[in-house]
Amino acid sequence: MLNPTLNHKLMKKMILCIVGIAIFSLFRVNGQNSTGTDGIKTDKQYEIVLNDGAVFTGTILSRDSATIVFQTNSIARIDIPVRQMKSLKKIQPPIPGKRSYKIVNPFPTKYFFTQSAINLQKGEGYYQNTYIFLNSVNYGLTDYFSIGAGMEILSTIGSISSNTFSPTWYIAPKLGFKVSDRFYLGGGVTFANIGGFFDNAKIGMGYGLATFGSTEHNFSIGMTNIYDIDNHDNTVLVTLAGMTRVSERLALVTENYISTSNDIGNSIFSYGIRFIASKISVDLGFINNKDIVKSLFLGVPYVDFNIKF
Question: Which pLDDT belongs to residue 93?
Answer: 61
How many Cα atoms occupy the beta-carbon half-sphere of 222 within 13 Å? Answer: 29
Alpha helices of 87-209 — where are they, by DSSP H?
A: 153-161
d(CA 74, CA 81): 19
Ordered by start, the domain boundaries in the chain are 4-29+101-308, 46-90
Residues 6+ apart with CB under 8 A from 54: none
In this structure, is the dihedral angle defined by the CA atoms of residues 120, 124, 128 and 134, taken in order, positive or negative?
positive
**Which of 188, 26, 55, 171 shows the shortest CA–CA distance to 116?**
188
d(CA 68, CA 57): 13
* 156 phi, psi to nearest 5 deg: -65, -50
Q: What is the pLDDT along the chain (309 residues), one digit of tens a residue?
A: 444 444 445 444 544 444 444 444 444 434 433 333 344 545 678 889 898 888 888 899 999 989 999 998 888 899 999 999 988 887 766 555 556 677 889 999 999 999 999 999 999 999 999 999 999 999 999 999 999 999 998 877 776 766 777 788 999 999 999 999 899 999 999 999 887 655 678 899 999 999 999 999 999 999 999 998 888 888 899 999 999 999 999 999 999 999 887 665 579 999 999 999 989 999 999 999 988 999 999 999 999 999 999
Task: For the beta carbon of residue 290, count every other beta carbon within 10 angstroms.
Answer: 12
Residues 6+ apart with CB under 8 A from 132: 153
Classify domain 46-90 by CATH architecture: Roll (2.30)
CATH class of 4-29+101-308: mainly beta
Question: Which pLDDT belongs to residue 162?
Answer: 67
Are 135 and 148 within 8 A, CB to CB? no
